[in-house]
Structure 1
Amino acid sequence: MPGSPQRTTTVLFAIIVVFLTLSLVLYPKEGFEAGIAGLKLFWDVVFPSLLPFFILSEIMLGVGVVHALGILLEPLMRPLFSVPGVGAFALSMGLAAGYPMDAVITAKFRKSKMCSRVEGERLLAFTNTADPYFLLGAVAVGMFRNAGIGMLLLIAHYIGAFLVGILFKLYGRGTQEKAEAAPPVIRGNLFTRAYQELLRARQEDGRPISQLLGDAVNDSIKTLLMICGFIIFFAVIIKVLTLSGIIPLLALPVMALFKLIGIDVSLVQPFLAGIFEIDIGAAQAAATDAVLIQQLIVVSFIVAWSGLSVHAQIASVLTGTDIRFSPYLVARVLHGIFAAIATVVLYNWGVGQTIATVSAPVAPSTLAVAAAEPTTAARWLASLYALKNWFLLIGGITLFSVALYLSRRMKIVVFKTRMNNK
């Protein structure tokens, strides 16, 4: 017999589901159009951007690259964030592909027993970030029509994530359990240990390359179809809640809070929309007539919070693991607060001086002039992209040299072992 709290939750959830269903029946045309918009967002943006990263992450796990990275980066990730070295892989893939890539990788780590439950919760707390292309392209250029805004939001967003990671280092210390498959103790040559771990993980996986590729594509498509369903569902929910008057009702206490802290009340509606879905909320905030810094504060919080749509995707990805969802939610609130504060500090420190104050979307003709005269931040970003090929070339040569050295070193060790046995 379920307890009283469980009965209350069940009844409340049933009422909400019935209400949403009736609302959708009353507004079928609007719900259909919202669903089409959500599907278009997934097909045009999410699917092509995330699929390559999902497939590559599966392959890197199967080949053993992630295990080798765990050995190499253990001395960095453990002191900073109290997570295994493999956490650097989740962090880097999360930075490159955005959410929910980090959750997918963290869940795989936990299922593979490469981290403990507490370590997985810590990892998920600070690796849940937006990708640079979303902030620099979709938000800055697409919504605000200003490239300089993207640099400010990007720096503030990652500062907030880093602070959450440092804070969560203290989380679960008294009750932390050891990982079932703790990373090996690093002794001697770090690169040799990483090479040995790469070979060990590949041998343990055992799948042929053809099967590994097929499984990677199959699992990635399944995960993306789940994400597609959540995007469409929440696009419809936001539309229905707005038409039924629920969101305007929720705006009353938020409006009082915004007046108290001195933020334009025109940002209340975008803020509430962003609580549900990040893209809709950020676009609405950029379209208001509020002061630029207040727009940026709200957008920073929305992007760091990431929206209930992303939260639902994360919760679904974590199914089958013992990683708890509540620490993730606390981390998102903290990330939103830290990112908003960092936005104010960076703006007042002069980062905002490179940003032209834009209170309304810029006309196409104005955009053409702006494109001819890029901002300081835009020129700096372009220089980073110009250096990208050099970094890739030097990194490739370095990796090849290290692999060649380790390969010869291992051959010498094997040869000496055989000679001693004789």
Structure 2
Amino acid sequence: MRYKSYILTLFYASATLILVFSIVRYPQIAFESSLRGLQIWWDVVFPATLPFMILSELMLGFGVVHFMGILLEPLMRPLFNVPGTGGFVLAMGFSSGYPVGPKLAARLREQQLVSRSEGERLLCFTSTSDPIFIFGAVAVGFFHDAALGISIAIANFAGAIIIGILLRYHDRKGESTPPAREHTSPLIFRALQAMHRARIKDNRPLGKLMGDAVLSSFQTLIIMGGFIIIFSVVIKFVTLGLISEILAYPAALLLALFHLSTEMSQSLIVGFFEVTQSMQYISELTTEVNMQTKIAIAAALVAWGGISVHAQVASIISSTDLRYQPYFIWKALHALASGVLCYLIWTPLQPFTSHLYQSLPAFAKHVPGGGLDYALEAIQHMSQYAIITAFVLGLFALIPLILQKVYTRP
């Protein structure tokens, strides 16, 4: 164990020294790549994510999370083995993209609304990409066909649901929050009562609550920006130097194992670190790699999120007792499940994708360009997705109650 600690120390120190030497040796390349990372953060990530983070903090203070917790308890507990408050994290995570889901899971853990085991389950399956990124950036921006985003989106979200169901067995011996007590009053009335009690318990004035929400959101986004910039530099040096050739060999062996073209090894290397740039590599592959394989690999990398997102998640949960190791393992499984699902549904969906695209005006038809226009468009679309997701979860939550009444009726 002691030698393992020394090896880790040597590895971290060596990697940092190599990166510093590379930046000093090639300052122009480092500057251009860091500037590109800053542009991605400022033009796209910052305006798209900030409103949702602020609103999420406000909804926690106003008791909306407690309202959804009571309302979605009949669905979330038997399906995912998490309390109903996890429905709020699921809706926001699916609509807003990573790392909003992990951020909210960490906040629920800080407020003792979930146990550590339940928080880790939420952490692992609510960290997904958002529809705007899948359709706007990946499908339209890199592959120039919005219909391709349908396969990626279905695989990404269906894979997350499957992982969430499997996660109900994660750390089963760990603590669980007690289920809601049986009541004779209507479900909606109990949910409203829980929301009111939570707001009274918080007891922060509106100005204080909004200030705390803005401050917390800015701190998280600044951390995200730092990771995006540094990983933009790391990826540039990795793809240019000897490290790329070293990593390409095991990647090529993995691809050969699945009878896939070794030409995609560079895409896997870049995608391991960061998603957006890997999509460009995949879209530029030669015609030797068919579109079905390209989209399946793209779906897997989108589900994985990249080490850049993993580092952001590790930073977000560092103030809690949630562990990063389960997140790493289950995100790898999510990537595998999404890639396989996308490959399997590709052929059956082909007759319908072009028709479906004609009826999807909400999806972006251009590459996100950043700035105020993108922020307003992102807020509009992601708000719709969050409301739709919460509404669907609410409908499913009513099914167990209806069945219970039917079968217990004398």
Q: Please say if 1:249 is aligned against 2:228.
A: no
Match of 1:348 in 2: 347
Q: 2:208 corresponds to which letter in structure 1? A: Q
Query: Mind listing any 5+ residue stretches in structure 2 that lack a counterpart?
Result: 365-380, 395-410
Match of 2:282 in 1: 285
Q: 1:256 corresponds to which letter in structure 2? A: L
Match of 2:97 in 1: 98
Query: What CA distance in whole angstroms lies between the structure 1 residues aligned with 2:326 and 2:387?
Result: 37
Q: Please say if 1:237 is aligned against 2:234.
A: yes
CA contact under 8 A between 1:70 and 1:183: conserved in structure 2?
Answer: no
Secondary structure at the residue paired with 1:177?
Answer: coil
TM-score by length of 1: 0.84
Match of 1:120 in 2: 119
CA contact under 8 A between 2:135 and 2:363: conserved in structure 1?
Answer: no
Match of 1:419 in 2: none
Q: How much does 1:8 deviate?
A: 2.0
CA contact under 8 A between 1:186 and 1:193: conserved in structure 2?
Answer: no
Identify which of 198, 201, 207 aligns with 2:195: 198
Query: What CA distance in whole angstroms lies between the structure 2 residues aligned with 1:201 and 1:301?
Result: 39
Q: Which runs of 4 or more aligned residues in structure 1 lie more than 3 Å from their structure 2 counterparts after TM superposition?
A: none
> Structure 2 vs 1, CA of residues 82 and 112 (structure 1 numbering), >3 Å: closer, same or farther?
same
CA contact under 8 A between 1:114 and 1:183: conserved in structure 2?
Answer: no
TM-score by length of 2: 0.86
Q: How much does 1:183 deviate?
A: 5.4
Query: What CA distance in whole angstroms lies between the structure 1 residues aligned with 2:281 and 2:25?
Result: 25
Match of 1:163 in 2: 162
Query: Mind listing any 5+ residue stretches in structure 1 that lack a counterpart?
Result: 356-374, 400-422
**Superposed CA RMSD:** 2.3
CA contact under 8 A between 2:132 and 2:363: conserved in structure 1?
Answer: no
Match of 1:380 in 2: 359
Match of 2:175 in 1: 177
CA contact under 8 A between 2:118 and 2:176: conserved in structure 1?
Answer: no
CA contact under 8 A between 1:301 and 1:340: conserved in structure 2?
Answer: yes
Secondary structure at the residue paired with 1:319?
Answer: helix
Matches for 1:12-161 after TM superposition, within 5 Å: 12-161=11-160
Match of 1:295 in 2: 294
Q: How much does 1:354 deviate?
A: 5.1
Secondary structure at the residue paired with 2:318?
Answer: coil
Query: What CA distance in whole angstroms lies between the structure 2 residues aligned with 1:96 and 1:253?
Result: 35
CA contact under 8 A between 1:157 and 1:339: conserved in structure 2?
Answer: yes
Matches for 1:360-379 after TM superposition, within 5 Å: 375-379=354-358
Query: What CA distance in whole angstroms lies between the structure 2 residues aligned with 1:340 and 1:384?
Result: 22
Query: What CA distance in whole angstroms lies between the structure 2 residues aligned with 1:108 and 1:392?
Result: 21
Match of 2:264 in 1: 267
Match of 1:359 in 2: none
Q: How much does 1:207 deviate?
A: 0.5
> Structure 2 vs 1, CA of residues 383 and 329 (structure 1 numbering), >3 Å: closer, same or farther?
closer
Q: How much does 1:382 deviate?
A: 2.8
Query: What CA distance in whole angstroms lies between the structure 1 residues aligned with 2:109 and 2:245?
Result: 41
Q: 2:226 corresponds to which letter in structure 1? A: G
CA contact under 8 A between 1:152 and 1:352: conserved in structure 2?
Answer: no
Aligned residue pairs: how many? 370
Q: Which has the higher contact order (CA 8 A, sep 6+)?
A: 2
Q: Which has the larger radius of gyration?
A: 1
Query: What CA distance in whole angstroms lies between the structure 2 residues aligned with 1:4 and 1:264?
Result: 39
Query: What CA distance in whole angstroms lies between the structure 1 residues aligned with 2:340 and 2:3?
Result: 40
Secondary structure at the residue paired with 1:99?
Answer: coil
CA contact under 8 A between 1:278 and 1:302: conserved in structure 2?
Answer: yes
> Structure 2 vs 1, CA of residues 242 and 155 (structure 1 numbering), >3 Å: closer, same or farther?
same
> Structure 2 vs 1, CA of residues 276 and 11 (structure 1 numbering), >3 Å: closer, same or farther?
same
Query: What CA distance in whole angstroms lies between the structure 2 residues aligned with 1:264 and 1:237?
Result: 26
CA contact under 8 A between 1:99 and 1:310: conserved in structure 2?
Answer: yes
Q: How much does 1:260 deviate?
A: 3.0
Query: What CA distance in whole angstroms lies between the structure 1 residues aligned with 2:250 and 2:6?
Result: 28
CA contact under 8 A between 1:72 and 1:85: conserved in structure 2?
Answer: yes
Secondary structure at the residue paired with 1:187?
Answer: coil
> Structure 2 vs 1, CA of residues 133 and 186 (structure 1 numbering), >3 Å: closer, same or farther?
farther
> Structure 2 vs 1, CA of residues 32 and 116 (structure 1 numbering), >3 Å: closer, same or farther?
same
Q: How much does 1:242 deviate?
A: 2.1
CA contact under 8 A between 2:300 and 2:339: conserved in structure 1?
Answer: yes
Query: What CA distance in whole angstroms lies between the structure 1 residues aligned with 2:82 and 2:222?
Result: 30
> Structure 2 vs 1, CA of residues 392 and 65 (structure 1 numbering), >3 Å: closer, same or farther?
closer
Query: What CA distance in whole angstroms lies between the structure 2 residues aligned with 1:257 and 1:159?
Result: 25
Q: How much does 1:384 deviate?
A: 9.3
Query: What CA distance in whole angstroms lies between the structure 2 residues aligned with 1:12 and 1:68?
Result: 47
Matches for 1:315-330 after TM superposition, within 5 Å: 315-330=314-329
